[in-house]
Amino acid sequence: YIGFIMKKTILRLVRLIFGLFLYALGIVITIKANIGYSPWDAFHSGISNTIDITMGIASIMTGLVIIMIAAIMGEKIGIGTILNMFLIGIFFDMINNSYLIPTTDNFIIGIGSMMIGLFVIAFASYFYIGSGFGAGPRDSLMVSLSRKTKFPIGVCRSAIEVFVVIIGYFLGGMVGIGTVLATFAIGICVQIVFGILKFDVTKVKHETLKDTYLALFFNENI
């Protein structure tokens, strides 16, 4: 029984890390589409250009600030929240610097690449969220804002993304038709993928850091 709990937790960690790698891959594909970055990536690229760091490091720094804000607002932090902050940025720089994903120079192909990237992100969300190790920094912020303001999740998400796009634009981030496409199409892609896989995100029970610690080292089945 003890071994079963340990094995189950480790397999979930593998699922989480695989999902975060896919997420980073999806981000690189959308960026290489060359028709405008998604809202958060436009923000990260603006920071990257302003203080001369990689987009991956900008993503990690942003995630750290958001985690602190979400924690102050009362959100529970899980190992998935922490690994999301670090690994997506690290994986992004690894994949982006490998030059394995070519940059498109055709608008129509760019739209196709953007959609492929968004579907990859949707599949990544299935693996990452399904691991049950806690929401990512940006998702935690969205939930916190919704809880505090009583506004619907969709309204809070849109408000946050409009805010980061505006800042990203003024910092020199790449904003274009792809930004608009990503903002509206990602929800559709996620809905399609979750529907095909029959994945109900509302039934996922997320662990806090304490829950995971107890499961790994004291074999407590949370």
- What local confidence, expressed as pLDDT, does residue 161 receive? 85
- pLDDT at residue 200, as a whole number: 81
Give pLDDT tens digits for 134-191: 878 888 888 788 878 888 776 787 888 889 999 999 999 989 999 989 888 887 888 8
The pLDDT value given to residue 124 = 93
Report the pLDDT value the prediction gives residue 3, as an integer from 0 to 100.
Answer: 64
Closest CA to 197 of 132, 124, 137: 124
Between the alpha carbon of residue 71 and those of residues 74, 88, 94, 140, the distances in Å are: 5, 20, 29, 9
Q: What sign for the dihedral angle of Cα 83, 84, 88, 90?
A: negative
Phi/psi for 128 (5° steps) reads -70, -50
Q: What is the reported pTM?
A: 0.87
| pLDDT number for residue 4 | 64
pLDDT at residue 5, rounded to an integer? 67
Place of tokens 């094995």: 7
Cβ atoms 20, 88 nearer than 8 A: yes
Spell out, as residue ranges, where the chain has pLDDT lower than 70.
1-5, 154, 216, 218-222
Q: 3-state class of 72 per DSSP?
A: helix
Instruction: Tell me the C-alpha to C-alpha distance, in Å, between residue 222 and each of 4, 112, 195.
Output: 13, 42, 27
